[in-house]
Structure 1
Amino acid sequence: MQQHQLKGSLMLFFCALIWGLAFVAQSVGADHVGAFTFNGLRSLIGAVFLIPCVAFFDRLAGRPFSIWGTDNKTEQQDLITGGIVCGIVLTIASTLQQIGIGHTTVGKAGFITTLYIVIVPLFGLIVHKTVTKLQWLSVFIAAVGMYFICITENFSVNYGDMIILACACFFALHIITIERFSVLVDGVRMSLLQFAVCGILSLPAIFFYEMPSWEALDQAWLPILYAGIMSCGIAYTLQILGQKYVNVILASIILSMESVFSVFAGWLLLGEQLSLREIGGCVLVFAAILLAQMPPKQQ
């Protein structure tokens, strides 16, 4: 049992590492192509990459490959609905993130994005879910951390940070949407479909709004490829496999390490620096993230 948990924890660790490095790829990509171009192309690459992954899992299960995975019409409809809804929300979230990361540092973007873990319980109030005292405390600590990250000493607000905060809200909504449909359908297939939807929805904006030049695409192809194969394809698969062996609380804590990896990646690869004020805010946000994962006390 412990061996399985260690294996699952390592999978989630590498998933968080890949996602943390992906912030660098997104930042570099934002210097050359627009948000719809970057996310549209990486989503389509991720969808194509997941096709052999689905085939591999079907083979492990001893069944023939099928894009639907079932002959049940209701399950097929749930898969289509879940993929489309998740794809729409993911398009909004990832586009906001890509726009915002072009106006802030990789490290701050990583910490602000990971606030989705704190925001999810608040969205749960809409469907009458209980928010614990620890979760409310985590929201307060996160708010203080966000103040130090986003508000400068002369009380000006960083535009990019606010866009990333909006993106965190949509990623929280994305998590809730996935929770709704993942119990009904195959997770990897739904991921494949949502990436396909995200890519298709981005195409009109690419051709009619951004129209990247071949020179720009030549400069951005490596970050797009990394984000498509590593972030969308491999990391998501590692998350699916890892969470089979690790409980959801430990899994969330390990995955939230992407925010820490994003800071180190920004410093190591891009030479980005955070002020002491911003570092203090990141520490508070990470503390809030960990606090939000603690189970409530049993009565």
Structure 2
Amino acid sequence: MQFDSLSSFIADKEAVPKKGPVAVVLAEDDVELETTLRHHQQAGFAHVIAFMPERFGLARDLQDSVIRIACNTSAPDALETAVNGVIGAVPAGTWMFYCYNAEFLFHPFCETRSVGEMLAFHTEERRNAMLTYVVDLYAEDLWANPNAVSLDGAHLDKSGYYALARPGANGHPKERQLNFYGGLRWRFEEHVPEARRKIDRISLFKTKPGLKLRDDHTFNDEEYNTFACEWHHNLTAAICSFRTAKALKLNPGSTFDIDTFKWHNSAPFEWHSRQLLDLGLMEPGQWF
């Protein structure tokens, strides 16, 4: 299903999903785009919406199963415009997820449990949003993979993650909110603007009237931005992402300073939730 703009999609009441979970993928380029779309279909999302330039092609099975919306994804605020547009179009109470191409959602026990099962449990815990950590992936050999993307040779950092209090407008830390750092944005911070160094996103959330995604991956409802409820730890998930590695290697200002992303704390990525759980990069909470 294809639309030439977000507005034409919103106007087609038959096309707008009536039930979630819904995944929104913003294609900044076509690197592993089809892999990304299929990954989230297989994760259990009822609908996958791809915002992408018209020049990008898709395989026949994805043309039939993905909602494709033409979009200038390099425009300022392209992600927020896309996500907020879908928030306003789908019914209130719909679970949504968003990511970029070459990013892959992993949740606890995802090999045997769907994203819908996880969100059903999260809803029972009276949570309307879920914290996700962006875990940087990078190719082992940058000479063989000049864009830093390799599914077979993917590596991640197994340590070097930390959190700092998130200050509020009054200068005091916000309740149950932290800024998380680590990965390539931490190790190569001289090439990353300070405002873009955080690795936390509220990528899974339930829609409601007036809800807006902001440009720092937080929402205008502060409770959505919390990592847990008041009485116990909640589920978290991870987005395993080549996006930062790709940007650092393709950016002329940083590419010549980086011969490899590997260091003594690199480990091959196993494409399995158990590895992420063991490294503390996501939390099962009370879900066993």
TM-score tier (shorter) = under 0.3
Q: State the TM-score, normalizing by the size of structure 1.
A: 0.26
- Higher strand proportion (structure 1 or 2): 2
- Higher helix proportion (structure 1 or 2): 1
Greater length-normalized contact order (CA 8 Å, ≥ 6 residues apart): 1
